[in-house]
Amino acid sequence: MATAVTASATAATRFTRLSGVGLLRRGGRCRLPTAVRFQRPGLTTTALLRPTELKPKDLGQPETLDYRVFLVDGAGRKVSPWHDVPLRAGDGVFHFIVEIPKESSAKMEVATDEAFTPIKQDTKKGNLRYYPYNINWNYGLLPQTWEDPTAANADVEGALGDNDPVDVVEIGERRANIGDVLRVKPLAALAMIDEGELDWKIVAISMDDPKASLVNDVDDVEKHFPGTLTAIRDWFRDYKIPDGKPANRFGLGNKPTSKEYALKVIQETNESWEKLVKRNIPAGELSLA
Q: Would you say 231 and 136 are in contact if contact means Cβ atoms under 8 Å apart?
A: yes
How far, in whole angstroms, is CA 183 from its chain's centroid?
12
Residue 283 has φ and ψ, to the nearest 5°, of: -85, -20
Give the type of residue at 95: H
Q: Would you say 68 and 59 are in contact if contact means Cβ atoms under 8 Å apart?
A: yes
90, β-bridge pairs = 93
Residue 85: count other Cβ atoms within 10 Å of its Cβ: 25
What's the DSSP call for residue 84? T
List all residues 6 or more positions away from 106 whose beta carbon is below 8 Å from its beta carbon: 62, 63, 100, 121, 128, 129, 130
Rounded Cα gap, residues 198 and 161, in angstroms: 5
Q: Determine how β-strand 29-31 pairs with β-strand 127-128.
A: unpaired
Rounded Cα gap, residues 163 and 101, in angstroms: 22
Give the type of residue at 39: Q
Give the SS3 label for residue 24. strand
Give the SS3 label for residue 279. coil
Rounded Cα gap, residues 224 and 73, in angstroms: 36
**Is 131 tagged catalytic?**
yes
Rounded Cα gap, residues 129 and 87, in angstroms: 28
Catalytic residue, candidates 130, 131, 133, 261: 131
Q: Catalytic residue positions?
A: 131
